[in-house]
């Protein structure tokens, strides 16, 4: 439960219809199994104490007494379990002589509350209205299993954990989710971060996909964790089949799912992620009207993580999704540039082409923008500017790439101009310091800007999101452009976009040069080569980009602190990097991220294509003189 993680489960016991004693035993076994796995919140199916398919037996006193006795046994035999459990059973309320389809929320042998089903289906294969009343507007206290408890369908009831920040549980039952006005909406607006759904949804061809979309969509709409427990084996198959379609979703993502089997579906919800997103979204407001809160506590401890944590969070793992994402991003970026070219009536676009990944992507996006404009790609001026660190490999790749894309190509050797500049400022050619490096970068930017002025064009920026996060750009050098198409694309995604272009092109020579660019070490090429090979490798200096992109995603997009980012990195990247290496680069990430904000405060325009950008006009507004003392202190404690 530390770092905001809570282990939850949806369980489907194998039951017998109307055999409440047998069902109680199955429920108890499932609860104990869940507790052994570290589960803290458990949802069980609708009416699982009796079985959903009892029909007119629901009107029999014997069944209702059996259900209450079974719940009493469950309470007694699980009184030592701290797991918060929602279990389904019929409850007769003597005050209004109505029968309700309820979720009993229990913990440590106590009934914390009864939540009645609001929307009672009586259509198609469903006949619940024959036996059950809607819980809408109900507000009673009654005695069940010798305990006085509430039956409340009028006020949103939330179960608030006093010692786990962010853990607030709400409950709805089956059809409630399928209705036009799900109770979970009011529950979430009253603070519920986790919604439990006790369901008995029969199976039909195609229904599983629709059910999955409902659960994922509701969790996204409410920015919550959603635990869906479905009835399964043991229900009557007189007319229907139930398959135990259990799901755990978080903010639109299905974390775990099982179908056609009984037992537990387990995963962990990230409460920190959910509460951060709600803080960030100012449209997520509070509900009007009153609510009722029931307090409970859990024993604190570490939660073993089994939920999927992507190694490359900016890149979809599924190849089909990745291909679709790449096409979408290239089109969005190209449309942004298309609009800027139209608005400025630029006669050309000028791209500095180094033979590296970033400038390659910028050229590919620019070519696509010109195609959208219906303009010839020859209106693109691709400029390579070799200097002291340029290798023959990157220079050759730049030229071949420009030719295969169809851009106008020009080589401008800036070596002599930089030497003159160094003589003017008294910079020794033997002093390979930051001045030696940045002098070249700024000269290249000057050349691009002046060529754009000559032709009435725009300089297209090539710097990516990862470089901006680390400040790995020369201020007023490659940091500056007239429109930055790569500014919200992290390095790990840049690589996949270039690979996608290589795979999709019908030009074998273009594909070949793109593959060679992918194989070229990432480098600014500002230091002289060693034996003709690149001497300066970026990832040796600032750290592997796959690590930094991981840090960037969780530290900035989700607002996690260093301790939690480090924990996730150990779980996900620990097989490739040892603890000391991850911690070293995490320290470097926070140091550079704070120190280099001044570069991000004056970024050129550029399109946002994903969930994260660092433009001061968009996602990220941070003072350039903010200090990292709190973050550094947390790092020192790791």
Q: Rounded distance, CA 322 to CA 203, Å?
A: 31
Q: Residue 266 has what DSSP assignment?
A: E
Q: Are residues 328 and 264 in the same domain?
A: no
Phi, psi of 249 (to 5 degrees): -125, 155
Residue 58 maps to a domain: yes
Q: Residue 311 has what DSSP assignment?
A: S
Q: Is the pLDDT of residue 289 over 90?
A: no
Closest CA to 360 of 397, 314, 408: 397
DSSP string, 169-212: EEEEETHHHHSSS-HHHHHHHTT-SEEEEEE-----TTHHHHHH
Q: Are residues 427 and 503 in the same domain?
A: yes
The mean pLDDT of the chain is: 94
Closest CA to 178 of 197, 194, 152: 197
Q: What is the pLDDT of residues 7-30, one digit of tens each?
A: 999 999 999 999 999 999 999 999
Residue 312 maps to a domain: no
Q: What is the pLDDT of residues 300-315, one digit of tens each?
A: 888 999 998 989 999 9
SS (HEC) of 59-115: HCHHHHHHHHHHHHHHHHHCCCCCCEEEEEEEEEECCCCEEEEEEEEEECCEEEEEE
Contact call for residues 476 and 445 (beta carbons, < 8 A)? yes
Residue 574 maps to a domain: yes
Contact call for residues 83 and 41 (beta carbons, < 8 A)? yes
Q: Are residues 629 and 597 in the same domain?
A: yes
Phi, psi of 425 (to 5 degrees): -100, 0
Contact call for residues 593 and 469 (beta carbons, < 8 A)? yes
DSSP string, 313-351: TTS-SSHHHHHHHHHHHHHHHHHHHHHHHHHHT-S-EEE
Q: Are residues 334 and 263 in the same domain?
A: no
Q: Are residues 46 and 189 in the same domain?
A: yes
Q: Are residues 435 and 288 in the same domain?
A: no
Check residue 420 and give its pLDDT.
Answer: 96
Domain finish residue from 241, 265, 296: 296
CATH code for position 158:
3.60.110.10
Q: What is the mean pLDDT of residues 585-600?
A: 97
Closest CA to 533 of 521, 542, 551: 521
Q: What is the pLDDT of residues 554-576, one digit of tens each?
A: 999 999 999 999 999 999 999 99
Domain finish residue from 230, 262, 296: 296
Q: Is the pLDDT of residue 539 over 70?
A: yes
Contact call for residues 605 and 573 (beta carbons, < 8 A)? no
Residue 305 maps to a domain: no
Residue 434 maps to a domain: yes
Domain finish residue from 296, 328, 356: 296
Q: Rounded distance, CA 115 to CA 186, Å?
A: 14
Q: What residues are labeled active site?
A: 46, 117, 174
Closest CA to 518 of 387, 355, 383, 340: 355
- Using the Cα atoms of residue 175, residue 179, residue 181 and residue 184 in order, give the sign of their dihedral: positive
Check residue 444 and give its pLDDT.
Answer: 96
Q: What is the mean pLDDT of residues 110-124?
A: 95
Q: Is the pLDDT of residue 535 over 70?
A: no
- Lowest-confidence segment of 343-357, 426-440, 583-597 by average pLDDT: 426-440
Q: Are residues 565 and 596 in the same domain?
A: yes
Closest CA to 145 of 24, 11, 58, 17: 24
Q: Is 411 helix (H, G, I), strand (E, B) or coil?
A: strand
pTM over 0.75: yes
Q: Are residues 383 and 444 in the same domain?
A: yes
Q: What is the pLDDT of residues 51-104, one digit of tens each?
A: 999 999 999 999 999 999 999 999 999 999 999 999 999 999 988 999 999 999
Q: What is the pLDDT of residues 234-254, one digit of tens each?
A: 999 999 999 999 999 999 999
Check residue 530 and give its pLDDT.
Answer: 78
CATH code for position 459:
3.40.50.620
Residue 105 maps to a domain: yes
Q: What is the pLDDT of residues 383-440, one digit of tens each?
A: 999 999 888 899 999 999 999 999 999 999 999 999 999 999 999 999 999 999 999 9
Residue 302 maps to a domain: no
Check residue 392 and give its pLDDT.
Answer: 87
Residue 314 maps to a domain: no
**pLDDT bracket for residue 167 (50, 70, 90):** very high
Check residue 538 and give its pLDDT.
Answer: 80
Q: Are residues 419 and 291 in the same domain?
A: no
Q: Are residues 371 and 285 in the same domain?
A: no
Q: Rounded distance, CA 553 to CA 555, Å?
A: 6
Q: What is the mean pLDDT of residues 471-489?
A: 95
Q: Rounded distance, CA 171 to CA 156, Å?
A: 9
Contact call for residues 477 and 471 (beta carbons, < 8 A)? no
Expressed as residue numbers, the domain containing 494 is: 319-636
Contact call for residues 522 and 537 (beta carbons, < 8 A)? yes
What's the total number of domains in the chain?
2
Q: Rounded distance, CA 464 to CA 134, Å?
A: 56
Q: Residue 553 has what DSSP assignment?
A: I
Q: Are residues 247 and 327 in the same domain?
A: no
Q: Is the pLDDT of residue 581 over 80?
A: yes
Distances from the Cα of 360 to the Cαs of 30, 319, 341, 516, in angstroms? 56, 22, 19, 11
Q: Is the pLDDT of residue 532 over 80?
A: no
Q: Are residues 326 and 415 in the same domain?
A: yes
């Amino acid at each position: 439960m530390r770092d905001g993680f809570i282990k939850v489960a949806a369980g489907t016991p194998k039951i017998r219809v109307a055999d409440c004693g047998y069902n109680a035993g199955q429920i108890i076994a499932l609860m104990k199994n869940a507790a052994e796995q570290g589960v803290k919140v458990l949802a069980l199916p609708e009416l699982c104490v009796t079985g959903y398919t009892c029909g007119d037996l629901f009107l029999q006193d014997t069944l209702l007494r059996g259900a209450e006795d079974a719940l009493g046994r469950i309470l007694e035999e699980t009184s030592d379990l701290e797991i918060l459990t929602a279990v389904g059973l019929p409850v007769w309320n003597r005050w209004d002589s109505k029968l309700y389809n309820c979720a009993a929320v229990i913990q440590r042998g106590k009934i914390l509350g009864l939540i009645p089903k609001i929307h009672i289906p009586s259509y198609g294969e469903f006949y619940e209205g024959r036996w059950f009343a809607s819980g809408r507007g109900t507000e009673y206290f009654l005695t069940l299993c010798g305990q006085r408890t509430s039956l409340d369908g009028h006020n949103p009831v939330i179960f608030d954990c006093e010692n786990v920040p962010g853990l607030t549980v709400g409950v709805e039952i089956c059809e409630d989710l399928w209705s036009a006005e799900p109770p979970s909406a009011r529950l979430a607006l009253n603070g519920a971060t986790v919604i439990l759904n006790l369901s008995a949804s029969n199976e039909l061809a195609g229904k599983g996909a629709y059910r999955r979309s409902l659960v994922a969509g509701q969790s996204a709409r409410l920015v919550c964790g959603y635990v869906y427990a479905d009835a399964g084996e043991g229900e009557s198959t007189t007319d229907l089949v139930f398959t135990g379609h259990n799901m755990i979703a978080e903010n639109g993502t299905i974390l775990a799912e099982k179908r056609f089997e009984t037992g537990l579906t387990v995963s962990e919800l990230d409460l920190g992620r959910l509460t951060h997103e709600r803080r960030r979204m100012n449209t997520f407001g509070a509900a009007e009207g009153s609510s009722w809160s029931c307090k409970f506590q859990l024993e604190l401890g570490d939660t073993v993580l089994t939920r999927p944590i992507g190694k490359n969070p900016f890149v979809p793992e599924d190849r089909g999704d990745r291909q679709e994402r790449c096409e979408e991003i290239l089109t969005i970026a190209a449309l942004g540039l298309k609009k800027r070219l139209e608005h400025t009536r630029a006669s050309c676009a000028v791209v500095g082409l180094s033979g590296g990944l970033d400038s390659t992507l910028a050229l590919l996006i620019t070519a696509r923008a010109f195609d959208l404009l219906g303009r010839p790609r020859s209106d693109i001026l691709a400029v390579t500017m070799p200097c002291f660190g340029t290798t023959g490999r990157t220079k050759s790749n730049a030229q071949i790439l420009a030719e295969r894309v169809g851009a106008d190509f020009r080589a401008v050797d800036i070596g002599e101009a930089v030497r003159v500049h160094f003589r003017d400022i008294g910079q020794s050619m033997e002093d390979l310091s930051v001045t030696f490096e940045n002098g070249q970068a700024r000269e290249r930017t000057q050349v691009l800007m002046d060529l754009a002025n000559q032709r009435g064009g725009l300089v297209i920026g090539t710097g990516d999101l990862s470089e901006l996060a680390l400040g790995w750009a020369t201020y007023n050098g490659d940091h500056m452009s007239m429109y930055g198409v790569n500014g919200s694309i992290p390095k790990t995604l840049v690589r996949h976009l270039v690979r996608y272009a290589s795979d999709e092109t019908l030009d074998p020579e273009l594909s070949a040069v793109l593959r060679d660019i992918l194989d070229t070490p990432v480098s600014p090429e500002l230091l002289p080569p060693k034996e003709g090979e690149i001497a300066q490798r970026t990832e040796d200096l600032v750290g592997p980009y796959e690590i930094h992109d991981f840090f960037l995603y969780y530290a900035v997009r989700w607002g996690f602190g260093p301790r939690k980012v480090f924990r996730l990195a150990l779980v996900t990247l620990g097989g490739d990097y040892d603890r000391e290496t991850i911690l070293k680069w995490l320290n470097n990430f926070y140091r550079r991220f704070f120190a280099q904000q001044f570069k991000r405060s004056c970024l050129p325009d550029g399109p946002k294509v994903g969930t994260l950008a660092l433009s001061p006009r968009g996602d990220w507004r941070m003072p350039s003189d903010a200090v990292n003392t709190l973050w550094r202190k947390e790092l020192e404690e790791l």
